[in-house]
Amino acid sequence: YLHRFKWIHLSERLAYERLVRRQRMRAEVSQAKRETNFFLQNVEKSKGLHKLQEMKSKKGQEWQEKSWHFKQRETEMEIQASKAASRKRKARELGKAAEIHGQAQSNVTLLAKIFNPAAGRD
């Protein structure tokens, strides 16, 4: 005997546990059905591809397997190497720009003579 404990409390608890068990079983069954359907679909695809491969081989055509090409993330060493190459390239470009700028400065006197002939006579 439990003080203030009614039969309805016990029956509610049992009904709740039964309901939870049914829901869990439904979820498991539906998951199993999904997995089974997925497996059967893949089996059918495989059969279809096999038939297609046989037909192509009978016709003398070449069968090419589809391959998936995924780009793998760069490693830390590859990232550092690409950054170093980028820095070298940028330094080379800056060197070329400085060289062109220097050549332009050497032409200043020539340009002054061409565009300001009075300054060249002095």
Residue 78 lies in a domain: no
Enclosing domain of residue 13: 7-59+84-115
pLDDT tens profile 62-93: 877 777 788 889 999 999 999 999 999 999 99
Structural contact between residues 42 and 52, judged by C-beta atoms closer than 8 angstroms: no
Residue 17 lies in a domain: yes
pLDDT tens profile 12-44: 888 999 999 999 999 999 999 999 999 999 999
Mean pLDDT lowest for which of 72-81, 89-98, 106-115?
106-115
Residue 93 lies in a domain: yes
Query: Domain count of the chain?
Result: 1
In sequence order, what are the residues at sequence separation of 6 or more whose Cβ sits closer than 8 angstroms to the Cβ of residue 62?
56
Please determine, for residue 120, whether its predicted confidence score (pLDDT) is greater than 60.
Answer: no
Structural contact between residues 62 and 56, judged by C-beta atoms closer than 8 angstroms: yes
Please determine, for residue 122, whether its predicted confidence score (pLDDT) is greater than 60.
Answer: no
Question: In angstroms, rounded to a whole number, what is the distance separating the alpha carbons of residues 51 and 44?
Answer: 11
Residue 72 lies in a domain: no
Please determine, for residue 105, whether its predicted confidence score (pLDDT) is greater than 80.
Answer: no
Opening angle at CA 55, ends 53 and 58, nearest 5: 110
Residue 64 lies in a domain: no
pTM for the structure as a whole: 0.41
The pLDDT score that the predictor gives to residue 11 is: 86
